[in-house]
Structure 1
Amino acid sequence: MYQQIMEQIKQRIAVGDWPPNTLLPSVRELATETKLSIITVKRAYLELGREGVIITQQGKGSWVSDTLDLATVQKQELIQHLEQASKLAKSLAIPEDKILQLIKQFME
């Protein structure tokens, strides 16, 4: 579950909902909002801190890092979407050339 929280936070950062220096909800607030344990949310914040995505200071809160490479976060987000699309295409037996054709259409 903590990985889902991490991904959701990264997604909000990638799409610009939470730009650098944005104060994040407290661990307690997010736990209440998501109906998850405080420990789960705290673990997500800890991992995001280790990755350099957020900065946390005891007693002051957590916020989006101002040194975060937004392009890297966005690229990771794109890769995750492509992985999901690839799995779906395989389950639907859609050939690779058709998938590439669809991607090209969206790129135009």
Structure 2
Amino acid sequence: MATKIRAALAHVLWLACVLCALVLAVGALLVALDANTSNALVDAVLQAATVVDLDVFSRKEGIKQFGGEGAEVKNALFNWGLGAIAWLVVGRILDRVVKP
């Protein structure tokens, strides 16, 4: 019984981390495509990405800040891309630790 619960928990943790990575990747894509931020769906994805970047991978004050032309797109792609990779790595580690 405990084995099944641990396996289910590991699966849920992995899925949550994958969803966070997906939100960051889609958010970076929307910034790169210069999507209409007055659209409710686009705004919701960008807000969600801002939450799951944990201010470590922020596109405005993240790990690396670019300047000049296209800086906003570069910042989003670099920082949110790294954030997505970090979520996947953490998710895989949690999956391996929790799974029996």
TM > 0.5 fold call: no
Whichever structure has more strand as a proportion of its residues is: 1
Give the TM-score category using the shorter length.
Answer: 0.3 to 0.5
TM-score normalized with structure 2 length: 0.33
TM-score normalized with structure 1 length: 0.31
Bigger RCO (CA 8 Å, 6+ sep): 2
